[in-house]
Amino acid sequence: MNIKTIEWTGGIDGHVRLIDQTLLPGRCAVLSVRDVEAMWEAIKVLRVRGAPAIGIAAAFGLVLGMQQIDDAATITQAQQKLQQLSDYLAGSRPTAVNLFWALERMLKVAKKTDTENTAQLKQKLLDEAQAIRDEDAAMCRAIGKHGAGLIKEGSTVLTHCNAGGLATAEFGTALAVMFTAHEQGKKFRVFADETRPLLQGARLTTWELMQAGIDVTLICDNMAGHLMSRGEIDLVITGADRIAANGDAANKIGTYSVAVLAAAHGIPFYIAAPSSTFDLSIPDGQQIPIEQRDRQEVINFGAQPVAPENVQVYNPAFDVTPAKYLAGIITERGLIDHPSSDSIRQMLQ
Amino acid sequence: MNIKTIEWTGGIDGHVRLIDQTLLPGRCAVLSVRDVEAMWEAIKVLRVRGAPAIGIAAAFGLVLGMQQIDDAATITQAQQKLQQLSDYLAGSRPTAVNLFWALERMLKVAKKTDTENTAQLKQKLLDEAQAIRDEDAAMCRAIGKHGAGLIKEGSTVLTHCNAGGLATAEFGTALAVMFTAHEQGKKFRVFADETRPLLQGARLTTWELMQAGIDVTLICDNMAGHLMSRGEIDLVITGADRIAANGDAANKIGTYSVAVLAAAHGIPFYIAAPSSTFDLSIPDGQQIPIEQRDRQEVINFGAQPVAPENVQVYNPAFDVTPAKYLAGIITERGLIDHPSSDSIRQMLQ
């Protein structure tokens, strides 16, 4: 199971190829993204989604944008252009910390004084974006390795949304743990929350797990508590979009409910996320902004209206799960058991 | 706000008119149901739904079925026919206790020895079915009256699925409480869970509340916990499909999760249901059978597939909320505070 979610093809004048996730699972189509505007749109409408994949997309987006500036331009002009592009891309998905992390990392490269000319800068930016992608793939493998021990032979795992290969360069975060346990020959079952309103669980997670040959069963979000009450869930693993210094974790709407339900049934709840997901500048989850998304996502389904057209809608993209509900956070550096500000700082040092 | 969900029109050779709820909220169409087979289908595919409305539909279904037997038939022949019709209708929705309750009540009428001929029996059955409908309408009013005090000026109420006028003859159970509080001039807000997979909350509850001029906001089921964590929900009121002797209550899948989440946030959780919903022959919720519904409900949305075609699906129609999670059960006889076997028996005597 090694889906290339997003990759650069060709040299400095090349382009990005990414799986258009809005078409899955009906069709696995690879989209060629050839300019920064197309990348902005791809991030905005979730053709590419999942915290790490968004970071990679943004980094490649900068490289695409820099193709618009001539090699003869001065370094100062190139740096100004880069800043503009970064500001533009930052607006595509304002809650995704990996987006900002990747953009900042790219800007840092540009600020190094040893760059002689714009052509060289452009090459350095492409190299850095490639490095972000390659490091992400390696991180996912490491997360899988550190988490796989949590899944025992015969376990049943619940997951929410899609923290799979499609959310990263490849292999995933929460699903990396499952892919690795599967590679180790363990037999286990997975229940996947469909994850309203955009159904990433139904469309993407079931598809990825089935591709890998893992036993997966789809449920509606409101069925998880019932399964837990029947003793049918042994552990929960989800991804995260942003984790505060104290371990409070923002993830897809509904994650908080799953965590509270897991706690009420004595089921351990884990988050799997690369260390880039931590935002140590934010002391706790209260400070994480919650993006409100379009009401159309809730009142229509494809072309079909499912509610009165003029009904009021509340549609937060994320919720925040307080650290007290987390049995652990699985990172590429290891497992942070019962995370706290101290244990998180220690692991990230 | 007084929607006639289901009613008989004409005399003994008349027929049933019911709102086809599969077409709401796009279209409010009244369907004429002229034979028992059409009524079986209407119950099965949820054209008519909600525990009390199903009972009324079944009673009228028997009257429709009895139109097939000639007035010249013997009472014994008529009673045999009635038993066959009852068995047939009982298979349309095996979890709905009101279905059995209504069928049994109709059969009792037929067993009374003072009936002189088949024509008279048919008239008595129609009268009884009408009585079931009229009593239901009166019960809903009484539930509204007993529950309205729970909604304070400025409260925010969460509800799940549709326990509205559309689930009953008219006025509803959980929504009757809201309609009555609204008639009393109270200002309050309602959040309605969309209620996957069939979206009764999105399609029906929002529609009914908007018709009544009540401030309602639609959410996906997985958003309720997040709202609770922000202190935005003051109380929860849902309906029930079957309540065991100890107060354990079966209701639409997802109700249990809402109840556990409410408990975790110190929010009182109420069920509103007529006394016919109680099944005292069942000591507790463990004995309530959980109907599994068609996988197509989860993997398709209208004509649009939303998951891999061959994915495994778990699709229980109901879950059971243990009595310990209930702040109260609102019945037409009064409010059962913190229900127990004793307090329930007392109220139902």
Q: CA-CA distances (angstroms) from residue B110 to A235, B39, B71? A: 55, 20, 15
The CATH number given to whatever domain includes residue A324 is 3.40.50.10470
My answer on whether B114 and B226 are in the same domain is no
Within a domain: A319? yes
Residue B176 distance to chain A (closest CA, Å): 20
Structure tokens at B286: 């463990």
Least CB–CB distance from A256: residue in B26, B196, B229: B229
My answer on whether B215 and B334 are in the same domain is yes
My answer on whether A206 and A241 are in the same domain is yes
Q: How confident is the model at residue B340 (pLDDT cuts 50, 70, 90)?
A: very high
In A, which residues are within 8 Å of B224 by CB distance? 257
In B, which residues are within 8 Å of A267 by CB distance? none
If one counts the domains in chain A, the total is 2
Nearest chain B residue to A317 by CA: give it: B223
Within a domain: A269? yes
Within a domain: A108? yes
Final residue in a domain of this structure, among B106, B122, B141: B141
Q: What is the pLDDT of residues B14-30, one digit of tens each?
A: 999 999 998 888 888 99
Tell me whether residues B202 and A307 touch, CB distance under 8 A.
yes
My answer on whether B257 and B324 are in the same domain is yes
Q: CA-CA distances (angstroms) from residue B146 to B277, B337, B341? A: 17, 12, 20
Q: Is the pLDDT of residue A145 over 60?
A: yes
Q: What is the DSSP letter of B129?
A: H
Final residue in a domain of this structure, among B141, B174, B194: B141
Within a domain: B1? no
Final residue in a domain of this structure, among B141, B175, B192: B141
* Of B147, B154, B212, nearest in space to B177 by CA: B147
Q: Is the pLDDT of residue B301 over 90?
A: no
Q: What is the pLDDT of residues A117-144, one digit of tens each?
A: 999 999 999 999 999 999 999 999 999 9
Q: Is the pLDDT of residue B330 over 50?
A: yes
With 0-12 / 13-18 / 19 or more C-beta atoms within 10 angstroms meaning exposed / middle / buried, residue B12 is middle
Phi/psi zone of residue A345: left (φ > 0), alpha (ψ -120 to 50 degrees), beta?
alpha
Tell me whether residues A220 and B216 touch, CB distance under 8 A.
no
Q: What average pLDDT does chain B have?
A: 94
Residue B189 distance to chain A (closest CA, Å): 11
Q: How confident is the model at residue B312 (pLDDT cuts 50, 70, 90)?
A: very high
pLDDT value of position A120: 94
Range of the domain at B110: 6-141
Nearest chain B residue to A305 by CA: give it: B26
Q: Is the pLDDT of residue A301 over 90?
A: no
Q: What is the side-by-side strand order in the sheet with A156-159? A: A334-337, A328-331, A269-272, A235-238, A156-159, A189-193, A215-219, B312-313
Nearest chain A residue to B27 by CA: give it: A308
The single residue of A241, A248, A279, A319 carrying the catalytic annotation is A241
Tell me whether residues B26 and A305 touch, CB distance under 8 A.
yes
B320 vs B322: CA distance, rounded Å? 6
My answer on whether A135 and A197 are in the same domain is no
Q: Which H/E stretch holds residue B292? A: none
Cβ atoms of B133 and B176 closer than 8 Å: no
My answer on whether A200 and A286 are in the same domain is yes
Q: Is the pLDDT of residue A27 over 90?
A: no
In B, which residues are within 8 Å of A210 by CB distance? 308, 310-311
Least CB–CB distance from A307: residue in B203, B302, B304: B203
Least CB–CB distance from B301: residue in A217, A264, A304: A304
pLDDT value of position A1: 46
Within a domain: B228? yes
Q: Is the pLDDT of residue A282 over 60?
A: yes
In B, which residues are within 8 Å of A156 by CB distance? none
Q: How confident is the model at residue B291 (pLDDT cuts 50, 70, 90)?
A: confident
The CATH number given to whatever domain includes residue B69 is 1.20.120.420
My answer on whether A37 and A127 are in the same domain is yes
Q: What is the pLDDT of residues A230-240, one digit of tens each?
A: 999 999 999 99
pLDDT value of position B2: 58
My answer on whether A111 and A33 are in the same domain is yes
Other C-beta atoms lying within 10 Å of the C-beta of residue B337: 12
Within a domain: B331? yes
Q: Which residues of B are catalytic?
A: 241
My answer on whether B172 and B96 are in the same domain is no
Q: How confident is the model at residue A277 (pLDDT cuts 50, 70, 90)?
A: confident
Q: Is the pLDDT of residue B48 over 50?
A: yes
Within a domain: B326? yes
Q: How confident is the model at residue B1 (pLDDT cuts 50, 70, 90)?
A: very low
pLDDT more than 70, % of chain A: 99
pLDDT value of position A2: 58
Cβ atoms of B87 and B100 closer than 8 Å: no
Tell me whether residues B222 and A254 touch, CB distance under 8 A.
yes
A255 vs A269: CA distance, rounded Å? 10
In B, which residues are within 8 Å of A261 by CB distance? 257, 260-261
User: Strand, coil or helix: what is B191?
Assistant: strand
User: Region A247-273: what's the mean pLDDT?
Assistant: 98
Q: What is the pLDDT of residues A154-181, one digit of tens each?
A: 999 999 999 999 989 889 999 999 999 9
Within a domain: A1? no
Nearest chain B residue to A210 by CA: give it: B311
A296 vs B171: CA distance, rounded Å? 29
Residue A55 distance to chain B (closest CA, Å): 26
My answer on whether B137 and B151 are in the same domain is no
Residue A91 distance to chain B (closest CA, Å): 25
Work out whether the CA dihedral A38, A42, A47, A52 comes out positive or negative: positive
* Of B332, B286, B310, B280, nearest in space to B52 by CA: B332
Residue B345 distance to chain A (closest CA, Å): 27
Note the ipTM here.
0.88
Q: Most B CBs within 10 Å: which of A159, A193, A217, A222, as the mutation test of the B interface?
A: A222
pLDDT value of position A291: 86
Q: What is the pLDDT of residues B209-234, one digit of tens each?
A: 999 999 999 999 999 999 999 999 99
Give Cα B331 to chain centroid, integer Å: 13
In B, which residues are within 8 Å of A231 by CB distance? none
CB contacts < 8 A (A, B): 192
My answer on whether A297 and A169 are in the same domain is yes
Q: How confident is the model at residue B160 (pLDDT cuts 50, 70, 90)?
A: very high
My answer on whether B158 and B287 are in the same domain is yes
pLDDT value of position A303: 74
| Least-confidence region, from A68-77, A302-311, A313-322, B210-219 | A302-311
Give Cα A260 to chain centroid, integer Å: 22
